[in-house]
Chain A
Amino acid sequence: MGIKTLFEKIDCLLRYPITFSRIVAAFVIVTILAVAGVVGARMILVPSFTAANDDYRYQWHRVANEEEWKTVAVKHQGNSYCKGCHADQHKNVAASAHAKVECENCHGPAFNHPDKPEKLVVDKSRELCLRCHASLPYRTPKYNEIPKGPMNLKMVDTEAHNTGMECVTCHDAHKASFK
């Protein structure tokens, strides 16, 4: 079958004669569809790399990663979260010189307490208290972060002050004073 007979057969099928201009027109249409297809596929398949600023050095990244960083779980819930159940202890602490100390500084991060974990492990060690209360020659001796007003930061000589004993034996951290 010659090329001419083939064309004639297609002509019959389409009921339109195949002319040169029709071939060109078909080519143009196919090209436009192909470009539209590529652009469309790019929008769906390839993640966007936004230009966050005008500087070419700083603009390329996977935008979805910003959202990924937002989904990291919050572990430290803050004093207001603890207040929900432990209102009495919160009241004690808020009235004391430890008002600005987060519960979680000593009790550890709450995560989803009381569901998970059910119990928090409190650090009662001497070393924890000494983080703020060890006497260092270059430690700022004034403390004025609490509503009560400026006061001296209580600092003890680590070597002389009841060595080997836990601070909580005599002191109550929730009242920031003796038991």
Chain B
Amino acid sequence: MNPSRRNFLKTGLITLAGLSVPLGALEFLTPKAAATTVKDSSLRWVFLVDATKCIGCGMCVKACLNENELPTSSHYSRTWVERYVVTQDGQMIVDSPMQARAGYIRNDPRGKEIPKENIAKGFFVPKLCNQCDLPVCVDVCPAGATYKTPDGVVHVDRKWCIGCAACISNCPYGARFFHPTLHVVEKCNFCYHRITKGLQTACVDSCAFGARKIGNIKDPNDPVTKTILTERVAVLKPEYGSKPQIFYLGLSQEVK
């Protein structure tokens, strides 16, 4: 090769073209990353709550606190049970004392007894994180600390969470809170350590009334999927557009 102007320009242009290839184009995809880009669509966890079966024993809350290592001093829980009482004069009283971890053993909504004949209707509603398909909390996280897995569960990365509480204030369901000792955001993750081992979540196992069920919406033979597809289910706060994935049977319009 001669040190001529022609050769200099030629080699220079080739070098420039090589340099302009972005680094990302040269990156090799691991098989796992490649699989996630084509979307492994065989698994998507969903939850089915039959609100008509819940009697407010709060065993699910107790089991959840134990299973997920929350101290007894915690004033919040990953799951909770709400009590709705509507009186004859149209007044509605909602409460969930300490997330009903000790259950409801007295007729004392908000500390005041309501005579039986004054009650138009009353019921219990178990609640937990809705594991939304378009999670608002993930959208607002400035640290990339909360994310949705390909199987639909929303996690908090405890190492990356900076504790700014943006997700707590943006969750339409109030499902997030601060961990009392770790000082990072805590939330229900469908007992990920259990469901990935083929177990049920702690709350499903502890419910003697069959009010809680977990299933895979991508499996048409799953009993939970069958119920969701064939029966009258509803979700909470669909107006937020976050596509919640907790389906309720027997949901009343009072429940927000």
Contact = CB atoms under 8 A, between A and B. Distances in A.
B179 interface: no
Contact of A28 (B11, B33, B121, B160): B11
B206 A138 contact: no
A62 B160 contact: yes
A71 B197 CA distance: 10
A69 B147 contact: no
Counting chain B CB atoms within 10 Å of each CB, the highest count among A42, A69, A72, A130 belongs to: A69
Given A31-B18, A58-B148, A131-B58, 13 more contacts: A28-B15, A36-B26, A42-B23, A51-B37, A62-B157, A66-B155, A72-B192, A74-B67, A105-B59, A105-B63, A109-B67, A138-B123, A140-B54
Contact of A24 (B11, B57, B193): B11
Taking residues whose C-beta sits less than 8 angstroms from the other chain, chain B's interface range is: 35 or more
Given A66-B155, A105-B208, A60 B116 contact: no
B66 interface: yes
Given A20-B8, A137-B116, A65 B157 contact: yes
Contacts of A7: none
Contacts of A53: 39, 148, 150
Contacts of B74: none
Nearest to A78: B205
Interface in A53-86: 53, 55, 57-63, 65-66, 69-76, 78
17 contacts: A22-B1, A27-B15, A28-B15, A36-B26, A38-B23, A48-B33, A53-B148, A58-B147, A66-B149, A102-B59, A105-B63, A109-B67, A130-B105, A131-B102, A134-B105, A139-B56, A145-B209
B234 to A, nearest CB: 19
Interface string A133-150: 010111110010100000
A28 B135 CA distance: 47
A158 interface: yes
Interface of B: 1-3, 7-8, 11-12, 14-15, 18-19, 23, 26-28, 30, 32-33, 36-37, 39, 52-59, 62-63, 66-69, 83, 85, 102-107, 116, 119, 121-124, 134-135, 138-139, 144-150, 155, 157, 159-160, 189, 192-194, 196-197, 199, 202, 205-206, 208-210
A62 to B, nearest CB: 6
Contacts of A101: 208
A132 B208 contact: yes
B155 to A, nearest CB: 6
Given A25-B11, A50-B36, A127-B102, A140 B67 contact: no
A20 B66 CA distance: 73
Contacts of B104: 131, 134, 136
Interface string A36-55: 10110011000011111101
A45 B72 CA distance: 40
Contact of A69 (B8, B83, B193): B193
Given A24-B11, A138-B121, A131 B209 contact: no
A100 interface: yes
Contacts of B26: 35-36, 39
Contact of A134 (B68, B106, B196): B106
B1 A19 contact: yes
Contacts of A136: 56, 104, 106-107, 122
A108 B139 CA distance: 38
The 8 closest A-B pairs by CB, nearest first: A138-B122, A20-B3, A131-B103, A61-B147, A21-B1, A72-B193, A131-B57, A130-B105
Nearest to B116: A137
B52 A70 contact: no
Interface in A113-130: 127, 130
A80 to B, nearest CB: 10
Nearest to A59: B147
Contacts of A131: 57-59, 102-105
A100 B208 contact: yes
B39 to A, nearest CB: 7
